[in-house]
Structures are given as structure tokens and as C-alpha cells.
A and B are shown apart, each in its own frame.
Chain A
Amino acid sequence: MTMFDVAIIGGGLAACSAALHLRLKGASVILLERGRCGAQASGVNYGGVRQQGRHEAELPLARRSREIWSRLETLIGSNCEFESTGHLKLARHDDDMVELQAYRDMAEGYGLHLDILGRDQLHKDYPFIAQSYAGASLCRQDGQANPRLVAPAFAYRARQLGAVIHEGCEVVGASRNSQGFELSVAGHDQPYRARRLINTAGAWGAKVAGWFGDRVDEQVMAPNMCVTEPIPPLIGPNLGVCGGSIYLRQSRNGSVIFGAGLGWADTDRLRARPCAQTTRQAAKAAIAMVPSLSSVLVIRTWTGIEGRMADGLPVVGPSPSTNGLIHAFGFSGHGFQLGPGVGAVLAELSLDGETPTPIEGLSFSRCHQGPSSASQS
């Protein structure tokens, strides 16, 4: 049986990007996905490519990822409808403005430039936004893309470059021995073998980590998304608000996509569905932000399963117990923008053992539950 340089569990955006970047570095790679690449959170999320507002621990990774977003066309042969529409974060009151200014100063240190707009400027530049807001912070570099296209496009390109990608292939167990890793797959007698292992199992990441004694608490979330009929161009930048209750953008085809709150998720049955009550609250919040949306029709709601860590930040980094095992899961709603960059970092971590991108704040150990029982190898 072939010994791959790297095996990847999961076929979300970070995983597909890792597969591609590993091939670009010449490593042999196998990716095993239970369902379809990009079918869960990577494919059904809001589609925001946002750096503004990211936690300081994530900012270097977000910056690295943004650089990859800007060259998708050359990297994977499609820009997946990525556009720098900008991201406008609204302040509810003057206290929020103070917070936005402090964030702006911090972000500047990471090379992320934000423009603070006062009340008059905001309402002059964006007259469709409700009058109640005290101002805003604009990140011109942020934008949006079509989430349905991105992970499959990374997978497509990785395959073209020789990555082995098996969809409909569920890893039911994995272990470490002296040569490397063995992965048992449902319906296969022979295990797959690899020298290094990347755990990008999303909402099931903690379960995979548990196979190696890396115990961590991972919750499940299903962001409740809504989309309207297409309307003439109105909105421009993606909209968010301090406090984070609602996010809203207009896509290239004219539909307005917005989300607020959570739907239902059933991780055992791999099912998630929107919640009517949440949809109603989201509609209310959307009108409060952009009043002219009131008469527009909602045509669909949806959701997908996403992992969430207690502190709302992903786990990206080496296993504390097992040599050659790298974790990247529990993206807590941040995985779309971060995904391409995470893949590049995972390729470096698994092949070089280090990455130039600072990710210490996302380490597994920060949320590790007690001592590990797994053997060190």
C-alpha cells in the first residue's frame, strides 16, 4: 500500500487548500472526505471574505489568506466570484466608535488599513443605511465570494496537480505507529498510510483529535442564512455591526444574503436545517439595518454544520501529543476567509514543521482539557 507524505481528513476549504499547497510543494497527498468537498460549512456559509473585526490572534492568518484570495485566478483557475466590495462595520453609538478606533489602531500594526467614517460621512456615502448608526469602520480590502464554488475549485485544482481526493469516503479511525499514520476507512479492508496527518474534520475535528488522546470540547453551530430575490444594485460593501447581531451583503446576481442567529444542527445524522424563529429575527434585524429591504422577498433559507470552540477561535497547530499530527478545526464561523491561508500554513507545518505565519494564539493547548493519555511517538 502506498505511503503518502500527508493524509488529510475532511474536505472543507482549509483541507482542499492544504491538498493544493502540499502538491505545490511536491508532497504526495491523500484527502478523505465523508461526503462531498465543500458540502458543509465551507460551501453553505455567508460568503464574507472579512479581515476587519478578526481577533488579534487570527489577524496574521487572515492577512496571509487575503493575499491568496487576491490571486485565486492564477492559483486555481477561477476567482470564484471574489470581489473586494469592502466591509463596513457599523457603530450603534459613540461607545462603539471608540471601540472601532481602538481596533483600527491595533489592526494597522498588522498592515490592515481601516477608514473610520463619522455619522455624517456614513450617511452621505451610504444613504440606504438606517439613520440610527453613529458611524462605521470601512475595510476596503475585504469582500465576498461564492462559497459554493471555492472549496470544489481548490479540490479540482489539487486533483489536477496529482492530489488523491476520495469523496464519499469516511475515516472511522486513525492511529500512529513507528512509520506514521494508519487510517481505517468504512468499507475498505486496507488502511491508508501516511507519514503525517492533518485533521481538518470541521465539526467532527474534536472526535478525530480524541483518537489520539487530544481531548477538547467542540460545540456545533449551524448559522441560519437567508437570501432574497435579486434586486437592483443597492448595497456595495458587506455590512456588519458592532455586537455582531446581523451580517448582510448583496451578491453579484443582485440577491441580498443575510444571516443572524443559528438554526438546528444534528451532527449524528449530518443534517442541519434553518429555524423559522431565527429567520424572523434575522428579517427584523435586516430591516433595522437597511429599511428599504422591507418589501423584498425572501426566497430561501439554509444552513450547514460548523464546529465552534469555547472562545470562538479555531484550533490551528500541531497536536500536543502526537508527532506529525496537525489540527485545524472548530473554525467557529471564520473558516471561509481563513481557509485558503490555513491550507498554506498546514502544508508548511506538516512538511517543514514550522510556518512563518504567527498562529500561537490558535494553538491546541489553549483549550486542551487535562493531560493526554496518548503515547508520545
Chain B
Amino acid sequence: MLHADIVIIGAGPAGIAAAHTLAEAGKRPMVIDEARYAGGQIFRQAEPLIDELDQPHRYGLDGRRAKAFRRRLDNLTGKVTFRSDTLVWSIEQNKLQLVRGDRIEDVRFEQIVLATGAMDRILPFEGWTIPGVFSLGAAQIALKAQASLIGRKVVFVGTGPLLYLVAYQYLRSGADVIEVLDSNDPLSNVTALPDLGCGGLTFLKGLYYLAHLKVLGVSCRANAVPVRAEWQDERVGALVYRHKGREILVSCDAVASGYGLKPETQLADMLGLDFKFDGSSRQWLPAMDDDGRTSVDGVYLAGDGSLVRGSQVAELAGELAALSLLADQGMADPDRQTMVKRKIARANRFRNALDDRIFPFPHTLAAGLPDDVVVCRCENLDARTIRHTVHRFAEVDVNRVKAFCRLGMGRCQGRLCGSAAAEIIAASGECDISIVGRLRGQAPVKPVSLSVLAGGRL
């Protein structure tokens, strides 16, 4: 079995910042990531041949930060052990179970930093499973990793900073951005502005994306919600949305949709970390203190995998988690810790306003989804079935609802449908969303074939 004193799960901004900080202190962490190249979602890299293509807008206005990230990575060469293309499929106390290609191996570790990142929060609508309807994250992967677009004529629908960023990236990469439909009204919420000022450059970038889209004549609508995607031939051909009480049909050949992000918390769950309910994002999140420490000794959290606050906070949180880990080994640097925490606190004021007040998850839309809309696509369960289960069994615990009607039992294990399903359960059971609980994380984190599991030495 392999051994590493410190492992870092995730090679995005948080994981690499943690690796950098640890390497500076003379440690040699093992960094594990599912992707072939480091970068996480924001700085995702393509295969070398694609990477060399001229794609100036791949990273939006973060091109310079992407370059800095790569310099940092280059500096880590030889100082960390990097295991790319590697899925952590299970974790038990001090042992990680990995899959790389068709090989399986275990790694024993002493300390761990979880920087597992986040994925799109999905709001189902009629036809969201039609080919050509993507998540915003998937639309970005196509662009960054494969230099491809999900379509020529794309409608963007959802809410959050990512909505405008991806629309901008697509526009600058040659796509015809038909419409940008936001379920919130970001420009109207002036009360949040003082806090938004704390975001400085980040805030200006956001405004720039929005302004740029508008200047180039892209229709950006507030308070617009998807009603249904319609087929044309073998894929999506139109999106119907509701705006100011009217239903409007736009033709397109692709739809990108996302309603903010949800942390990937399966490993935190399997490690037995305490979770707490975060009222503003309406999600259960692994509990951590201001320094990135968790309820389990030797386990640290950083980045969007613990609390979605964007890549700049993620970098700082990665640094902080590493500093806390070092401090716990008698290598404290209190001045630096204080400084990083101050920066995080300042940036958090902005992100809190952005995520919680400007772009809240449209939970009433989720709660009110029409009965016929498929919510759990793996098990083909519609909203009606979920509501019926809640009523028939007088049950609002999501794991019990799962047991009775197969919600979240398929290939994605509820990663896609979990957010919306929880809202439907809470609304039809007339209880607070926190009572619904959270779907338990169970191995494998992502599907693994029997032959891979059976392979290798046992």
C-alpha cells in the first residue's frame, strides 16, 4: 500500500494553494485529482494539442490568474506527488481507495485536505434531459477541455455569477448567445451593494460580463424561468420560458442551465465529519471552524467543496487549511494565519451578498415544479411521485423517501436531483428544509465497474 503523510483531494485553486503552502514548509503532499491536468473547474486545462489552440477567452477575464496558477503548478514540480486521472472512490479513516484507469490502489495517510470543489445545482424543468441540454459546468468543460461548444445557438438559463461568465465565454468563443435568462434580478438588489463593494475587482468583472453581453445585443432577462425544452429532430430545438406572466419560445440548438453550485461532500460524509445546515444556501454542509478544521482530527476543508465562495476565496482557504495543518504539527505561523483570515473575511462579505442575496437558489420554483416534471432522471421519478410518497407515508426524511420511492438511487446517487427533491419534500410535507436532511454519501463516490473493483491484489 502507498503511503503519504499528507494528501490533498482536488487540484483546483484550493488544493493547489494548500499544496503550495505545504511545499513551502518543506512538506511533500500527495495531490489527487479526477482530471488529467490540474486546474479544477475554473482553470481546467485541455489536452496539449488543444491547449495550444488560440482560445483567448477560455478563462474569461481570469486569463492572467490562469497563467499565474500554471506558474504556481510549475513551481510545484518535484515538490509534490501528483496523481491525476484518479478517482477517490472510497475513504475509510486513514485509508483512501483510488481508481486510475482500470487500476485500483490504496493510500494510507495521516492528514488530509479535502478540496473537492462543487458542481452545478440543477433545477429540473420539462425536457431538461433532452440531448443538447447541458449544465453550465458541462458547457464550460466542453469549452476549456475540448475547445468545443455545446451548440451554435445557445440559450443560458439559471442564476448566479457562472451564468454570465459562461455566456460571455461562449459569446467570445463564437457562439450565438440567444438569451441569458436569470431567475433572479441581480441589478435590482441595491441593498446588497455596500457589501458588493468589498468584492472590488471580482464585482467589476461580473459587471463587465453582463455589460459586454448587453452591449453586443444579447437579451439578458431577469425574473425569467424555464418552462420546457422542446425536441427538434434528435435534440433540443427550442426553450420555452416564462417572463412577466407570458410564455415565450426561443429556438436554439443547445441550452446551458445551472442555479448556483453545490459542494461535493461525499468524502466528508464518509469520513464521518459533522454536518450543519446552512440556512442561506439551504444546504447541509460539512462543519468547519474559521481555520478550516473539521470535527475529525487531521481532516481539513478548503474551497467550494465546503462552502461555495468562488475561486479567490478558495485559494485563500486552501492556504489557510494548510497553515492550520502545519500549526497542528507545531509549525504555526500566526501572523500569516491572521492575515489570510482577514482577507477571507473581507472577500466573504462580498460573496455572501452575491450568493445569498443577489443570486439565491430559487427554492420556490423547485418546490412548485409541475407534477409531470422528471426530477430524478436516473430513476425516472417525477415530482408527483415524490409528493405522493411524502403524503402516503407522512414522511419528510429524504433518506426514507429515497427508500420508499427510489429517489436518488441511480447512477448519480442524488448528486443532480438532491437539491430540488429536498425542496419538493419540504414543501409538500410542510416542514423546514433542514428537517428533510441530506442524502447519505456512500461508496463508490462515482460508479466503478466490477472488473476494476475486482482487479489488483486483494
Contact of B403 among A43, A281, A284 (CB under 8 A): A43
Question: How many Å lie between the Cα of A297 and that of B378 in the bound state?
Answer: 14
Task: Return chain B residues, CB-CB under 8 Å to A178.
Answer: none
CB distance from B376 to the nearest CB of A (A): 13
* Contact residue among A149, A264, A297 (Cβ-Cβ distance under 8 Å from B404): A149
Say whether, besides A299-B411, A299-B444, A301-B442, A294 and B90 are in contact (CB < 8 Å): no
Interface residues of B in 93-143 (CB under 8 A from A): 95, 97, 104, 106
B56 within 8 A of A: no
Instruction: Write the chain B residue with the least CB distance to A230.
Output: B410
Q: Is the CB of B406 within 8 A of A283?
A: no
State the Cβ distance, B275 to closest chain A Cβ, in Å: 14
List residues of chain A with CB within 8 A of the CB of B90. 274, 276, 279
Contacts A273-B270, A298-B444; A280 near B453 (Cβ below 8 A): yes
Contact status of A281 and B410, CB under 8 A, knowing A275-B92, A294-B450: no
Supposing A279-B443, A294-B451 touch, asked if A229 and B411 sit within 8 A by C-beta, the answer is yes
Question: Residue of B at shortest CB range from A256?
Answer: B450
User: For the complex, is B188 an interface residue (Cβ under 8 Å from A)?
Assistant: no
B443 touches A274 (CB 8 A): yes
Choose from A152, A274, A299 the contact partner of B447 (Cβ within 8 Å): A299
Partner of B411, one of A148, A274, A297, A302: A297
Q: How far is the CA of A280 from the CA of B393 in the complex (A)?
A: 36
Q: Which residues of A contact B397 (CB under 8 A)?
A: 36
**A156 to B392 Cα, complex, angstroms:** 10
The reply to whether B453 and A283 contact each other, CB–CB distance below 8 Å, is yes
User: Are A253 and B454 neighbours in the complex by a CB distance under 8 Å?
Assistant: no
Q: Is A253 a contact of B442 with CB atoms below 8 Å?
A: no
CB distance from A178 to the nearest CB of B (A): 39
B410 touches A297 (CB 8 A): no
Residues of A within 8 A of B456 (CB): 280
Contact between B442 and A274, CB atoms less than 8 A apart: yes
Q: Check: B216 CB closer than 8 A to any chain A CB.
A: no
Number of interface residues of A (CB under 8 A): 34
Cα of A152 to Cα of B400 in the assembled complex, Å = 10
- Judge whether A301 and B450 touch: CB under 8 Å: no
Q: Which residues of B contact A301 (CB under 8 A)?
A: 442-444
Docked Cα-Cα span, A268 to B361, in Å, equals 38
Residues of A within 8 A of B257 (CB): none
**Least Cβ–Cβ distance between B75 and chain A, in angstroms:** 34
Residue A72, interface by CB 8 Å: no
**Is there a chain A Cβ closer than 8 Å to B413's Cβ?**
yes
Residues of B within 8 A of A296 (CB): 449-450
* 1/0 contact string of B425-456 vs chain A (CB within 8 Å): 00000000000000000111001111101101
User: Does B409 lie at the interface of the complex (its beta carbon under 8 Å from any beta carbon of A)?
Assistant: yes
A32 CA to B393 CA, complexed, in Å = 18
Q: Nearest residue in A to B451 (C-beta to C-beta)?
A: A294
Could you tell me the distance in whole angstroms from the C-beta of B270 to the nearest C-beta in chain A?
7
Q: Which residue of chain A is the closest to B392 with respect to CB atoms? A: A156
Chain A: CB-nearest residue to B92? A276
Smallest Cβ-Cβ distance to A296: which chain B residue: B450
User: Distance (Å) between the CB of A14 and the closest chain B CB?
Assistant: 19
A323 at the B interface (CB under 8 A): no
- Binary contact readout A265-306 vs B (1 if CB under 8 angstroms, 0 otherwise): 000000101111101110110110000011111111110000
B458 within 8 A of A: yes
Query: CB < 8 Å: which of B95, B272, B404, B409 contacts A152?
Result: B404
Collect the chain A residues with CB atoms within 8 Å of residue B270's CB: 273
Question: What string of 1s and 0s marks CB contacts (under 8 Å) between A137-169 and chain B?
Answer: 000000000001100100010000000000000
Among A152, A273, A300: residue with most chain B CB under 10 A: A300
Q: How far is the CA of A349 from the CA of B453 in the complex (A)?
A: 47
Residues of B within 8 A of A321 (CB): none
Q: Are B451 and A298 in contact (CB under 8 A)?
A: no
Given contacts A274-B443, A277-B458, A298-B444, A287 and B411 within 8 Å (CB-CB)? no
Closest to B95 in A: A276
Whether A228 is near chain B, meaning CB under 8 Å from some CB there, is: yes
Q: Which chain B residues border A274 with CB–CB below 8 Å? A: 90, 442-443
Q: Report how far A228 CA is from B413 CA in the complex, Å.
A: 12
Question: Do A286 and B444 have beta carbons less than 8 Å apart?
Answer: no
A2-46: CB near B (< 8 Å → 1, else 0) gives 000000000000000000000000000000000010000001000
A286 CB contact (under 8 Å) in B442, B447, B450: B450
Cβ of A148 and Cβ of B447 under 8 Å apart? no
CA distance A284 to B452 in the complex (A): 9
List, in ascending order, chain B residues with CB within 8 A of A294's CB: 449-451, 454
Q: Once the chains bind, are A298 and B404 in contact (CB under 8 Å)? A: no
Q: Which residues of B contact A149 (CB under 8 A)?
A: 403-404
Tell me the minimal C-beta distance from A76 to chain B in angstroms. 14
A273 to B413, CA, bound (A): 16
| A residues in contact with B400, CB < 8 Å | 36
Min CB–CB distance B457 → chain A (angstroms):
10
Indicate with 1 or 0, residue by residue over B416-430, a CB within 8 angstroms of chain A CB atoms: 000000000000000
Chain B CB count within 10 A is highest, among A148, A276, A283, for: A276
Q: Is the CB of B442 within 8 A of A300?
A: yes
Docked complex Cα distance between A102 and B95 (Å): 46
| Chain A residues within an 8 Å CB radius of B448 | 297-298
Please name all residues of chain A whose beta carbon is closer than 8 Å to the beta carbon of B451 when the two chains form the complex. 283, 287, 294-295
CB-contact partner of B450 in A43, A156, A293, A302, under 8 A: A293
Are B403 and A298 neighbours in the complex by a CB distance under 8 Å? no
Q: Could you list some 27 contacts between A and B, CB below 8 A?
A: A229-B410, A230-B410, A273-B92, A274-B90, A276-B90, A276-B92, A276-B95, A277-B458, A280-B454, A283-B454, A286-B454, A287-B450, A287-B454, A294-B449, A296-B449, A297-B411, A297-B448, A297-B450, A298-B444, A298-B448, A298-B449, A300-B409, A300-B413, A300-B443, A300-B444, A301-B442, A302-B442
B residues near A (Cβ < 8 Å) are 89-90, 92, 95, 97, 104, 106, 270, 272, 379, 393, 397, 400, 403-404, 406, 409-411, 413, 442-444, 447-451, 453-454, 456, 458
Given contacts A149-B403, A298-B448, 20 further A-B contacts (CB under 8 A): A149-B404, A152-B393, A152-B403, A229-B410, A230-B410, A264-B92, A274-B442, A274-B443, A279-B90, A280-B104, A280-B454, A284-B458, A286-B450, A295-B449, A295-B451, A297-B411, A297-B449, A299-B447, A300-B413, A302-B442
Pairs A-B, 5 closest by C-beta atoms? A283-B453, A297-B447, A284-B454, A148-B403, A276-B90
